[in-house]
Every structure is written in structure tokens, then in C-alpha cells.
Amino acid sequence: MSLSDLKHSLRKYEFPVCAQEALVRIEQLLAGRTAPTNKQLVVAMEIISEFIFCESDRRGDRGRGAGLSSLQELQLIDILCEYLSSCNNETTKNTIFLSLFGGMESQRRLKVLSILASMAVSASSTPVLLAVGVWLQQTGCSSPQSLQLAENLIRDHFYLNTKNQKELRMLANTAPQFISNFITAVTELYVHDLSTKKMPPKNLLEVITSWVYSNPSLCMSAQLKPASLPSGSIPMAAATPLAGLIRWCSLAPLCLPSNVEDVEMMEISIPMKKIKLECEIDRSIVTTVQQKQLSEAELYIKLHLGVLHSLRSGKRTQGPPTAVNAQHLAALAPIVQTYAHDVLTRGLKLSNDEKLQECLNRLGQAVQVSLANGCVYGNVNNLLASLDTLPENRLLRIVIRTHQQNI
Amino acid sequence: MNTSSKSTALSADLNNFVYGVSRRNTQSTPELTKTGISLLKTFPAARDAVLEFFSIVFQEAVNVAISQTDYEADPNANSLLESVSMIGPELCNLGESWAPFIAPWCVNLIIDISTNKSNVPNSTLQSAEPVRVLLDITTQNLTLLGPEEKATCIDMMLESRWCGWAVGRVVRAEAGLVALVAPRALALGADAARALLAQLAHHAPALAHLKRALQTLFHDVIREDSMPESKRDVIPYLLNLASKSDVVLKAFTQDIEQTLSDEVVRRLGAVCGGGARWEGAAPASLVQLLMRTDARCLLLLLRHARNYQFCRQLLEHLLQKLEYECLFPDKTIPLLTSAAEEIHMIREKLLDGNQLEKYSLARLLILICYNQPSEFVSTISYLLQYSRDDATLALLVRIMSGTASMHVPNDTPDISTDTERYQDFIRTGVEHALRDAAMSDTQIKRCFIEGNVPKDQKTYMHYFCLNIIKLLRWESSKRVSQLRGRAVGRAVQASLYRLGAALQHYAALLRDPQLHHCTMRSLNEMPTCHALAEVLDRVDMSGTKGPLPSVESVLKVVQATVKYFFRCIHEPDVMNKVRGTQTACRLLRKLCGHSKLARAVGLRDLLEAAMFREERAFGTRAEPRAPDTDDLLIHLNQKHGPITQLTQSHTSVFHAGIIGKGVRKKSSHDENSLPPILTTNNELLMGALMACMDGNSGVVEGATSVALLLVELVSPDVMYNGLPWPDEDFTKQVSIERELYMRAALEASPVCRAALRRCGGARPALCLASALLRAAAATLLHRLRALLDRHTHSPEVERERATLTELLSTMTLGQLLPHPLSHMLELAPELTPNEIVQVLRDCLWNYTRDHVPSPALFTCDATGLHWRDPSSCKPPALYTDTLRIIIQKRIAKLGHLYPIMFLNLEKESSN
């Protein structure tokens, strides 16, 4: 069948069916034994645009496409989901997925992708999630598209639907590559500096902590198992979430409201007030207080521990270290310095500031563990030098000295 | 849940939903809705599609609900409505994080629906079930939004010109939104703002927010630093808006005092001054606006009229306009209505305002009173009670005459009934004032609690009386043209009964200052009584200028006057006492001149009270106090003498005395002598009695009834015994005890004796009291006989002699003893008891026994005077001989009487 006939045959169908058919045709075009020719690629892209996303009308002129209604979007997503789930070949699946959503420019496709990903999370659909994970990795976890996807997912699953925490925790076992990339993207969204104090919502933090803590190899999973990509494509270097998580944990003491004890006092004092006011619900409140979940500060401590574990398991037996970029760690120094400066201007002593010391301690621990396990790549000297500019901290001092000598 | 099964369940749901929707019919809608809801929960990313589906459902449901009223029967309609009712609660309860998605969806849907259905009446649309559900969802989710998002939603709604009602509804349900809506609404331009604000009007808190928004706008304008040119049109805009929208006006004027404080007004003057005139702020339109405001605005205007020429002009303009508008009977003017509601405030201002305020308010009150007769009545009542100076009273006159003479078309047939009607109102007003004043007097007053009572504090009733007196004075001066109709006089006359009752009440108050220490009652009540009496005194009761007062009220006033009279008797200040009793007498004279009934009642009340209740004031001595139990005669006599019995000694001593009064004490002269007749009080009482009898031939009639009354009051059982004097022996055997009692009663009561004398003067009235004379004569006979063997100068004898003198003089005065017998009076002091007994028996008793003293003996001459012709009633010698013999026997001493008594007699007999 010639390429033009292909389009003509597809035009006989109305929307949902034509999308189904188009997927089959694209698979035939792209997933052959050999790499597809340029012409095949162009036709495949046209088919995707016209028959799957309906971006152009039947006569094929772009820009005047009707687009999809939200219902049709749902139909499309259903079809895609079904197709991806039934696809046996990992490479074929990733090839199709990347050609569907690989284009960086279309906001519409990104929306469809978001819904698809969200549905996959809702339905715990592993094949789709894995494909999304590959997409994240190939697009780059810190690219605007990935961040947008991550934001949509967070909104859907951590704000709008809050009853699915258990299923979410399970995902780390079924689709670790996706989760790893997702966390990497998420770390980019929060805790950048001290002025905005954009902190992750608590339930997100809980889930991430549980993922990292219970599965030390998770963070490295994207690197450990390289994605099956279409032949001829360039695999992107998988970034790990470790650097971002180290940033979270280190800066958390500076960002969280004043004191751990204070937070607990506050959290307890609110139910106390309620007890006074509403005597009848006294009992229920007491029970909730007893089985109280961890406070955010505690969660960060737990996460920190999880990260350190992950770092230890991140050691690669062969090849250069890939887990943590030294540059990312070095980027923390200015933020901490800003805080220290603030403390100084308020006329306080740096060594007495518990938050700062806690922050430096955690940083020191993370640096020590990662250096000791050989997880750091990039300019380690530069990292040590920038750490040296930080306020005085005993642990950090020791760490810096040790490793400066080593080099 | 197993992952795979969950996954399949989700995709099955999704499949169902997606293909169900595309092949949808109304039957499957509820199913699909259910699926949609569950999708929404488990798969939030599908929300766009689900919500889109929901909006289709809503729109169809609205269609159904509007087009069919009886859609219960239609299964399609039912399934749609069922879906709607499923969606409603779900979307309401999704929570805070969903609100940013749900709220805009709702708003858009509302806009769509209202735009599509803009030809359907708002009320129909609003009452449709789906719309209600939708509004609920909107409200619920709007409340969960942050302030900016809220504002965005509201802006979206406000941009659509069809959904003002929806904004109104949402705002009504969620008060916090008003603060957002109100300022935005004001920015919309007058017409749109009006429509929207009308929606808000039913919502109570809306007013407050609207007010705040308006005030912010307003204060922005007049702030010092604002640029006058750019903001100049705001005030005309506001005025324009206010002229179109009641709500805005209400919001503006609600706390107008705070909004337009003095400072603000000054500033406003500065902002507005100098520039060109505003359109829409011309006096005519301002007056139109003011007519729709409330009374407080008017008061504010009045306050500023003092300082600002413009306000004065505006005020005059307004009043003229109001006066003109009031001529249309069916027109209701909000300002007047509000003023009628706030009439207390206005009246208070009328009392304490400056002159301009007073006069303006009086004009306003005329209009109010003209429209609402009840206010007319209460205004009259209020001013009568609280007016304290002539100026205010003059305003009252003005209001009364002004209201009554408001323009009435000439062709109305009932001008006279109209006057009658107003007269009736005035009467009711007076009555209310009277009642209220009496009530106010019983209320607890702060000045009494705090103990800082002003020196000249008068009771409310007193003030009321003073006002009435002044009005009546003006009326009788005939110099006030408005009072020509004697409206007040007639009103007071009509409420005569109540006035009488009030006087009676106040005169009956015998107050213990401790008991009423917090009310006006702790003041002395006499000034009030005097004032009330003066009011009564000024009322015309002659019947010449109006109908005669009813019998009932006359009697009431008479009784009250009698009470008042006796209160005056107790006044310590002589001038007040005399003036008061004179007033009482004048009143009695006026009352009794026209009514015999009144006279009878007056006389009886006066006498009764004087003899039995107030007898102390007239000289009757107090009953001797009952002795202590030890002194009882019976006990004393039971005590036996000294224990040691000597031979021949008395074994016991009996004490002499009067049973019940203990041992006879040595009586002082004071106690024994008769109480004197000639005292001030007695004279005043007699004056009152005479006042009752005043008038032609009234004296005789009056005296007759006084005589009868005396008999009745002293001893009711001889009332019907008739005039004849029985045989002397008969009295001795049968009636001496009663006669002793009667004489004691007579002697003890100077009032009684004085009244007898008056009766004696008014012949032949004394005849009817002959029972009393008889009793005196009989007892004298008896006692003097008993005293014969005693020494002649004991106090008892003195007393007997005094009684005798009085008896004789009374009888002589009453011409019961004709010529020679009448001289017994002069003879008596010289006679011995023995002789007296003889004279009494032969000359007095026997003569009167044989010549019964009856009115028939007295003839009436041409002048109406009753008298007994001495020439025709010479007593026969039988009765005079005793006298003659006694005089002859003691010619040395009594000789000078002989020629007077007997010579003429003989001369005549010789003729």
C-alpha cells in the first residue's frame, strides 16, 4: 500500500476508529526491523497529527484543525491506553509513545499526555507509566514540559484525589523508572531558595519519603535499567533525584517554621482548643493524636536517612560515578550563605543557630556518604571549595579536610 | 485492591462513560452521571470531560424544568432531574482543592444558561430546580476560593449582562461576597448598577457592604489630596444612582450623620465650591431625592441650614414641594412616611431645636398629621405634655389649625363633618395627654434616684395643666384668630369627666414620700391639684357655648371638687388655702347652679366629709384615748383595799367613773367647753355649702336639704319621725337615751352646729331639723333638773348653759320662737336652773308641742323670702305667763326686759 493510500484508507473512518486504525498503521511504519526512512517518518507524523490528535482537518492543512473536545480526548486516551497496554514489545511501545508525544511544542498533546499519565497513575497501568518514564527521561526531567506534567500529576493525585495514597506507594515497585524520573522532576518544583519557601505538600512528601525509604535502589533505577529506545535514537543521560532530595533535606530545617518542638506544640495545641470547645468529639481527637502521622520535620529526617541509604546503594561497580552531580551540590552553598548572612544581620551568632547547624550537618553527611561511595561526578574540587565558604561546622570541616587530602 | 482489577474497572468506567456519552439518550443519563462522578473521584484528570457532560445535563434539565411545569410524568425529565440532584451534593462536597475548577465551571454554566434563557423571566429561571442546585454548587465553591479567584469569578458574572440575578442569589447565600460585589457594581454605570443592586437589596448584610463601598468612593472624592477635576463627576454620579436606586439611597442615608459629619460637610463645601454647577445636583432634583430619603436626612439638612445658605434654600424648596405633593391624596412620600415613623425624634427636635428647626418641623408635622390622624392626636398629646414655653405652645396652635385647614376642595360636601372630625381628634389628643401625664407621674425618674431634683420640678400633670390653662387663656382673650373655634376649650370641656377623675385622684393622694421616692409622686401634690382645679375653673360648664356637660361628668367633678376643698383646708399656707377654697367654691357654684343633683351630691359630700372624716379640722375633739387595761373601772373595783382590816373601816372602795373610760378625771375647762363654731375652717366650709346653694331660691332648697342631711347624719333613725314635738313625759320615758346621744353628737361637731345656724337663717329650713332641736331641748330639761341640787358653777352647768344659749339663739334665728319667747335668749343667763327648767318646759317645749314648727307656718312674700309674720303668730298667754311671772318676781334685775317683751304685746292686745 502506498503512503498516500494509507491516508485515504484512514479517512474512511470517523474519529475514535480512525485513531485506533492509525495506531496500527504507525506501528507498521515505524517499528520495522530497520530504521524507518525519512519519508515514512514524515507520513507517520502527518497521520498522528491528522488522525490521532485531529490537529489538522481532512484536507491536511495545519492550523485549521478542529482539535479534540474533552470527551474525544478521553476517548483517545482510552484507545492509547489500551494500545500501550496490549503492546508486547517494549521498544515498539516506546517508539510509538515518543513519536506521539515527543514533539516539544504542542500544548495540546502535552495536555493529552498529562491526562494519560494521570489515568495511568489512577489505574496503576504499568506499561503506560513506564512509557511515560521513558518520555520523562528523554525530554529531560527538568525541562518545562516535564515539570508541567509533574505539576499536573501532583495536582490530580495529591490535591484533587487524596484517597489513593496506598496505590501510589505501590507504584515504586511496579514502575520504578517512572517514579525515579517523576521524583527528579518534582524536586525541581520545590525548595529552590529560602525566599519563596515553596514547600511540597505534606502528602506528597509522605509518599516520596515512603518510596525512597523503602526502596534504596529506586533512585538509581532509571540508570540501572536503560530504556529500550527505538533504534537510532540517542538515549539521554538519566538524572537521579538524589541531588534534589539532598537539597530538600538540607534546606528543610531552614525553610520549615521555626522549631521542631514549636511545630509539634502548634499541632497539638490546635486539637487541644477543639477539645475545649467541642466536648463530644473529645475521644476521636485523642485517638487521632495518638496515631499521629509524622510531622513534616520528622518526614524530612526520615527522607534524609532514605537518601543516605540510596547513596550507599548507588555505587556502581564499573564505570564513572553517575548518581550525583557535584555542581548541583555546590549550588546549595550560596543559599545557605544567604541565610547565614541574614542571621548575622540580625546580630546572632552562627554557631548558636540550631537550624543552620542542622542544615550543615545534613549537608556534611550527604556529601560524606556520596563522596565515600563514589557517587559524585563532575568537579569535586569545586564542590569542596564552595563548601569551604560555608559557615563553621565541625562535621563539614572534617569532611572537607578528608577529601581535600584524598585528591 | 488488586492492581489489574482496579485498572480494568477504571478503564471499563472510562469506556462506559466515553461511549455512553457519545451515544447518549436521556434514559441513560443517571447511569452516566454516576459513572462520571466516580471517574471524577478516581481519575481527576478526566474532569474536563466530565464537567462538560455535566453542563450539558444541566442545560437540558433547565430546558425541561422551564418548559414543562408538570414534568413529574415525563420519564426523560425525571432522569435528567435525578442526575442533577445527584451531581449537586457531589460537587458541593468535593472540597477546597477542587473549588478552583468547579467555581469557574459553574460561573460559565450560569452565564451560558442565563444568556440562552434571557427571554425567560428571572423568577421562573431562578425557581427551576437545576438552577437552584447550580447556584448552591456555585456558592459552596465560591466560598472555598481565595480572594483573587473569587473576584475573578464575580467579575466574570458581572460581565455578562444577563446574570445579575445569579450574582444576587449567590451573594445572598454567601455574605462575604458582597464586599466584592458592591464596589464592582458601582463601577458599572448607573443603569446596570441599579439592576444589580436591586438584586442585592433583599440581603441584609449587603446594605452594610454597599454602604462601605459607597463611602469609600465618597471619601475618596473629598479627600484633601485628590484631584478635584478628575473626581468631580463622582458625586453627580452617586446622586444620579441614588435617584434611580432605592438601595443606594438607603445605603447612603442609613447613617447619614456619620457619613456627613461636620468635617466632611466643610470639606465637601470646599470641593464643590467655586466650580461650575453639576448636572443632576440642581435643587429640583435634589428635592426629588430628598423626598425619598428619611427623616434623619431632613434633620441633618436642618442642622446645616443654620450655616449654609444653600441648605436653607433647599429646605424651603423641599417644604414647599412637600406641601404641594401632599395635596394629592394617594401619593405616598417616603420622607413623610419615614418622618411619621421617626416622629418621636422630630417632636423632640421640635422642643429643643432652634427657631428655624422648630418652624420647619412644625410645617412637616402639619403634613404628617394631615396624612395620619393618629399622629395628629399623638402630636397634640405630646406637645401638651412636654411643651414648656409659649413658643412651643404657639407651634401647637399652628399645627392644630394648620392641619385642620389643609386644603380641602371646595366641592367636598362634608366640610362641617371635617371640622367635627378634627375637633374629635383634638379632644382625643387632650384626653391622651391627660392620661399619659398621669401615667408619667407614676414612672420612676432618674432625678429622684440620683437625688438631684430641680427646685421647681413640677409633675407632668402640672405642666399639662399649665399648658391647657395658657391655651384657654389665649382662647378667651379672643386675640388669636386660629383659636376662634374654641377647639381647645371644647376639647377640654369634652374631657371634663377625665379631668374630674384626675383631680379626684390627685386630691386623694396622701403620699408617703418614702413609698414613692423615685417618682413624681414624691413631690407635693397640691400644686398639681391647684392647677387641675384652675383648668376646671376655666372650663365653661354653663352650657351657653356648647352642650351642657353630662350628668356623669358633673357629678365626678363635684366629688373631685369636694375632695380638693378638703385638701385645701389642710394647706399650711393661708393664701393658697383661701385661693384654693375659693376656686372650689366657684366650681361648686358653677356646677350646682345648673343641676340639683350636683347640689345634692355636693352638699352631702361636704357635710359627710366634714362631720366624719375631716372633723378634726373643724374643731371636733379627739375621742379620749381608751385607758390602759389597768385603769379599767372593773379591774380597779376588783382590787380590794388594805389587807389589814381595821374595825369599822371600809372594807372596800368603789371608784366612780364612766364605764369604758376609766376613772373620772378632773375635767379641765378646755375639754368641757363646747368647741367653737367660729373658726376659719368652719367659715370656709360654710362658704362652700353656701356656694352649693347659690342661685335663685337655691338657698332655701339647699338649706332644707342641709337640714335633712344633718338629721340623717346625726341619727338616721329619726329621719322619718316627722316634725311634731311629743309630750315631754314621752321623751323622758321613751327616747331620752337617743336624745342624749343626738345632743352629744351635735355638741361635738361644730360643723353641725354651724350648719344648723345657717339653716336657721334660711327659713323655714330649720323646721326640718327640729328633731335635733328637740333632742337638745329634752336633754337640757333633764340635765338641768338633775343639776338643781348641785352648785351652780361647775363646768357641767356652764356647758349646759352654753348649749341652752345656742339652742335658743338657733331657734330664734329660725323664727321658731315668736316675739316674746324669742327673748328667752337674753333672759336665760340670769335665770337659776330651776327657773330655766320651768321656762323651758312651759314656754319652749309646750309652745312648740302645740305649735308644731313646720314650713307651713312660713309664708313666702313677693321677694321670695320666707318668714313668719310676728303679728299673726302671737303666742297665747299660756306660754308666756311663766316668763312674765319670773320677770315680775325678779323685776329688780330683769326689769329692763319686761317692756320689750310684754308692753308691746299688751299695747297690741289693747288695740
- State the Cα–Cα distance between residues A247 and A327, nearest whole angstrom: 12
SS3 B866: strand
Across the interface, of B3, B22, B47, the residue whose CB is closest to A124 is: B3
Q: Sort out which chain B residues have CB atoms less than 8 A from A114's CB and list them.
A: 45
Across the interface, of A71, A161, A174, the residue whose CB is closest to B52 is: A71
* Sign of the four-CA dihedral B119, B120, B125, B130: negative
- The larger pLDDT score, comparing residue B77 to residue B367, is at B367
Task: Return the domain boundaries, chain A.
Answer: 1-67, 70-240
Tell me the CA end-to-end span of chain B in Å, nearest whole number. Answer: 160
* pLDDT score, position B627: 53
State the count of interchain CB pairs (< 8 A) between A and B. 78
| E strand or H helix at B504 | helix B496-508
Contact A154, A204 (CB under 8 A): yes
pLDDT band at residue B27 using 50, 70 and 90 as cut-offs: low
SS3 B794: coil
* pLDDT score, position B548: 79
Side-chain-side CA neighbours of B486 within 13 Å: the count stands at: 12
Cell numbers found for residue B857:
307656718
- B480 in contact with A, Cβ within 8 Å: no
**Which residue's C-alpha cell is 401615667?**
B439
**Would you give the DSSP letter of residue B658?**
E
**Would you give the DSSP letter of residue A376?**
E
Is B49–A73 a contact, with Cβ atoms under 8 angstroms apart? yes
- Give the chain A residue nearest B52 (alpha carbons): A70
In one-letter notation, the amino acid at residue A260 is: V
| E strand or H helix at B859 | strand B859-860
Across the interface, of B11, B19, B42, the residue whose CB is closest to A81 is: B11
Cell numbers found for residue A184:
527528579
Is A167–B22 a contact, with Cβ atoms under 8 angstroms apart? no
* pLDDT score, position B657: 66
**For residue B793, what are the contacts with CB-CB under 8 A and spacing of at least 6?**
none
**Which residue's C-alpha cell is 356647758?**
B799
**Segment B268-288 mean pLDDT:** 62
SS3 B315: helix
Alpha helix segments (H runs only) across B539-647: 551-569, 574-594, 596-608, 633-638
Residue B625 in this model has a pLDDT that exceeds 60: no
* pLDDT score, position B276: 45
Across the interface, of A70, A78, A157, the residue whose CB is closest to B14 is: A78
Contact B880, B821 (CB under 8 A): yes
Residue B646 in this model has a pLDDT that exceeds 70: no
Residue B638: CB atoms within 10 A of its CB come to: 9
Is A160–B11 a contact, with Cβ atoms under 8 angstroms apart? no
Q: Sort out which chain B residues have CB atoms less than 8 A from A81's CB and list them.
A: 11
**Which residue's C-alpha cell is 563553621?**
A392
Give the CA dihedral B91, B93, B96, B102, nearest 10 degrees.
10
Cell numbers found for residue B259:
457619613
- State the Cα–Cα distance between residues B408 and B274, nearest whole angstrom: 45
Taking each helix axis from N to C end, the angle separating B596-608 and B680-693, rounded to the nearest 10 degrees, works out to: 160
A123, with CB counted inside 10 A (0-12, 13-18, 19+), is buried
Q: Sort out which chain B residues have CB atoms less than 8 A from A80's CB and list them.
A: none
Tell me which residues of chain A have a C-beta less than 8 Å from any C-beta of chain B: 69-71, 73-75, 77-78, 81-82, 114-115, 118-119, 122-125, 152, 155-157, 159-164, 167, 170, 174
Is A164–B10 a contact, with Cβ atoms under 8 angstroms apart? no
- State the Cα–Cα distance between residues B64 and B32, nearest whole angstrom: 19
Alpha helix segments (H runs only) across A225-373: 242-255, 260-277, 282-290, 296-313, 326-330, 332-345, 354-372
- Cis amide leading into B764 (omega within 30): yes
Across the interface, of B49, B94, B101, the residue whose CB is closest to A70 is: B49
Q: How far is CA B887 from the centre of its chain?
A: 73
Across the interface, of A75, A123, A160, the residue whose CB is closest to B18 is: A75
Q: Sort out which chain B residues have CB atoms less than 8 A from A84's CB and list them.
A: none
Across the interface, of A115, A152, A155, the residue whose CB is closest to B46 is: A115
Among B737, B736, B734, B711, CA closest to B722: B711
Q: What is the 3-state secondary structure (H, E, C) of B411-437?
A: CCCCHHHHHHHHHHHHHHHHHHHHHHH
Contact B772, B729 (CB under 8 A): no
**Which residue's C-alpha cell is 507504584?**
A171
Q: Sort out which chain B residues have CB atoms less than 8 A from A69's CB and list them.
A: 49, 52
Phi, psi of B832 (to 5 degrees): -80, 160
| E strand or H helix at B867 | strand B866-867
- State the Cα–Cα distance between residues A29 and A32, nearest whole angstrom: 7
Is B42–A70 a contact, with Cβ atoms under 8 angstroms apart? no
B530, with CB counted inside 10 A (0-12, 13-18, 19+), is buried
B128, with CB counted inside 10 A (0-12, 13-18, 19+), is buried
Contact A225, A177 (CB under 8 A): yes
Residue B907 in this model has a pLDDT that exceeds 60: no
pLDDT band at residue B911 using 50, 70 and 90 as cut-offs: very low
How near does any CA of chain B get to the CA of A14, in Å? 13
Contact B595, B603 (CB under 8 A): no
- The larger pLDDT score, comparing residue B689 to residue B905, is at B689
Is B11–A82 a contact, with Cβ atoms under 8 angstroms apart? yes
- B514 in contact with A, Cβ within 8 Å: no
Furthest C-alpha separation in chain A: 80
Is B6–A159 a contact, with Cβ atoms under 8 angstroms apart? no
Among B497, B689, B494, B709, CA closest to B589: B689
- Give the chain B residue nearest A69 (alpha carbons): B49
- State the Cα–Cα distance between residues B387 and B389, nearest whole angstrom: 6
Residue B883 in this model has a pLDDT that exceeds 50: yes
- State the Cα–Cα distance between residues B710 and B771, nearest whole angstrom: 10
B856, with CB counted inside 10 A (0-12, 13-18, 19+), is exposed
- Give the chain B residue nearest A120 (alpha carbons): B7
pLDDT band at residue B836 using 50, 70 and 90 as cut-offs: confident
**Would you give the DSSP letter of residue B513?**
T
Q: Which residues pair with B860 in a beta bridge?
A: B866
Cell numbers found for residue B7:
485498572
The percentage of residues in chain B with a pLDDT greater than 70, rounded to a whole number, is 75
In one-letter notation, the amino acid at residue B507 is: A
- State the Cα–Cα distance between residues B794 and B790, nearest whole angstrom: 8
Cell numbers found for residue B8:
480494568
* pLDDT score, position A280: 43
Q: What is the 3-state secondary structure (H, E, C) of B250-291?
A: HHHHCCHHHHCCHHHHHHHHHHHCCCCCCCCCCHHHHHHHHH
- B14 in contact with A, Cβ within 8 Å: yes
- State the Cα–Cα distance between residues A152 and B45, nearest whole angstrom: 8
Return residues 59-98 of B near A (CB < 8 Å).
Answer: 94, 97-98
* pLDDT score, position B895: 83
Q: Per residue in B188-222, is it b (16+ CB within 10 Å) or e — as a string?
A: bebeebbbbbbbbbebeebbbbbbebbbebbeebb
Is A122–B49 a contact, with Cβ atoms under 8 angstroms apart? no
- List, run by run, the mean pLDDT of 10-residue segments along chain A (407 residues): 70 77 79 72 78 66 58 82 81 80 75 84 82 83 84 84 80 83 85 75 86 82 72 73 85 72 44 42 44 76 87 73 82 87 84 85 88 84 87 87 79
* pLDDT score, position B782: 82
* pLDDT score, position A289: 43
B16-20, B579-583, B660-664 — which one is most confidently predicted on average? B579-583
Residue B127 in this model has a pLDDT that exceeds 80: no
Q: Quick: pLDDT tens for B413-433.
A: 566 677 788 888 888 988 898
- State the Cα–Cα distance between residues A320 and B372, nearest whole angstrom: 103
Contact B549, B493 (CB under 8 A): yes
* pLDDT score, position B729: 77
